[in-house]
Structure 1
């Protein structure tokens, strides 16, 4: 049986993602992905140790996050080699940080006009 905080964490991440201009949720690979104009900017993966949100990160920041907080961040399979980073959503998630990571990822993926509508 899933931990009771898991659905709440995923719902909270969903609200953050879908608040962005033209953001849409599409289930892919049996997991929610969040897109802008069909380009993924965030996704949720679940594993035995709980859900994690995956984000696109600018060059160099994946390594910084992994070194600074390896208990919260990890290099996700499949997309980690492209600089994506994953944030564990178990325990005491810093939701302000999660929202900032979502916005940054969105700005990296979205067309310039839409990206400009999202504050850093």
Structure 2
């Protein structure tokens, strides 16, 4: 950790519209699964929990995008989320949000901002 930032992965590991990178965040309550994806040239990170029922979104590790590569999808319920905001636009939790995690991309890496 340097300057309040912890490395998640190299920038090259997060490709536009491709599989995301899973990581964990240490919280007071313990380790929580999270992920980072790239969309529109930017990286976005969220806790890996559906807003409808607190289960992980990906049915296979890192598979967060739907077939169109325009939305993040909950493999269990089919809820669709905007990658840039985490807002559910279709499914049982429409209008709810994924919980975002602050990240920054610099010097060839993606960093968790603490």
Q: Same fold (TM over 0.5)?
A: no
Relative to total residues, which structure has the larger strand share, 1 or 2? 2
Q: TM-score, normalised by structure 1?
A: 0.28
Relative to total residues, which structure has the larger helix share, 1 or 2? 1
